[in-house]
Amino acid sequence: MIRIFPFLPLLILSIVIALSLATIHHIPHSEFVDLVNRAQDEWVADATFAADRTYADMKHLWMDSAFFDAEVAAADQSIELLGAVEALPAEQLGDSLDWRELEPHCLDYVLNQGQCGSCWAFGSSTALSDRFCIKTGKKSLLSPQDLVACDFAGQLGCHGGYPKRAYEYLEFFGSPSLACFPYTSGVTKVAGHCHHYCADGTAHPHRYYAQKFKSRSYKGVDAIKTALQDGPVTGVMHVYADFPHYKSGIYHHAAGKKLGGHAVAIVGYGVDRESSTPFWIVRNSWGKEWGESGYFRIRMGFNECGIESAASAGFPAV
């Protein structure tokens, strides 16, 4: 044992160097995943989701980092203007909250953005959909396609957008249901045309609105926890090269370069029983085959990948 010990630092150093160079030299996904799993034991990486695809092939799954930076700046400006949300006492927030368990009929789905960088539309429309269902007891998913095709206020459709602006659109223009305006951009790879009628030709569809001037930005653990008491919220984060390989566990960035920004729906929080690590429960928009049936958990309290920098949410107009 004593003879092996001197080689341990060298082994660790070799893994660190390999991880830092992995995405630069484009090593096979299987080798990269093996390095990630050897370097840490808090989450499990798997190469299945990214099999036969390069990072360039997957770039539609996230946005340029500039969208993340602008969303954070907008959140900071909003908080400075309106003031920070007063956080509830710790005893009211508790250690855990999972809207999947509280309202299973509302959160029994995971969508797939497909070949379109529309995560900003999915993160916003699904979080507000959940809040409508929680408020009314009736499930009706809002259409991310409406945001992608019709929200022109600085949004770039399949090339990225801003959740905060999406909520402003939902305040003034609302959204038809997903059943009325199905999502097609994941296949066509373009935003498509903005329609004011349903796919079946029905005129003047019912639209779901967020309450005007009520959408807010949230920053930090306690503020986001407080916002979650009313339902899921939209979060933004950095995407690194190891994230597409996430399979299970509590994610933290372990290896690889930054690839861009991403928008998701935060649906709760908890604490791992074995490690006592607090985490956020997050729904992705990459289908149920990815991660923990379409969800992932990410470390809380360290602003991991910027997840605590700029959450946003709207309130159903009912």
CA-closest candidate to residue 259, choices 146, 160, 144, 165: 160
Measured CA to CA in angstroms, residue 29 lies from 18, 36, 53, 230 at distances of: 13, 10, 9, 40
Return d(Cα 216, Cα 258) in angstroms, integer.
Answer: 28
* CA-to-CA dists, residue 239 to 108, 150, 180, angstroms: 25, 26, 32
Q: How many CA atoms does the CB half-sphere of 41 hold within 13 Å?
A: 2
Handedness of CA 118, 119, 120, 125 (dihedral sign): positive
Q: What is the DSSP string of 113-143?
A: --SSB-HHHHHHHHHHHHHHHHHHS----B-
Q: Which of 29, 60, 116, 119 is catalytic?
A: 119
* Residues 306, 318: Cα–Cα separation, whole Å: 32
- Listed in sequence order, the residues at least 6 apart from 46 whose beta carbon sits closer than 8 Å to its beta carbon are 33, 245, 246, 247
Q: Using an 8 Å Cβ cutoff, are 252 and 39 in contact?
A: no
List 133, 150, 284, 305, catalytic entry = 284
Q: Where are the alpha helices (DSSP H) in 110-247?
A: 119-136, 144-150, 163-172, 185-188, 221-228
Tell me if residue 37 is catalytic. no
Residues 318, 315: Cα–Cα separation, whole Å: 9
Residue 285, both tokens: 């928009």
Is 196 noted as a catalytic residue in this protein?
no
Q: How far is CA 193 from the centre of its chain?
A: 25
Orientation of helix 119-136 relative to helix 163-172, angle to 10°: 50
What is the rounded CA–CA span in Å between residue 257 and residue 254? Answer: 10
Catalytic residue among 60, 238, 253, 262: 262
Q: Is 284 a catalytic residue?
A: yes
Cite the active site residues. Answer: 119, 262, 284
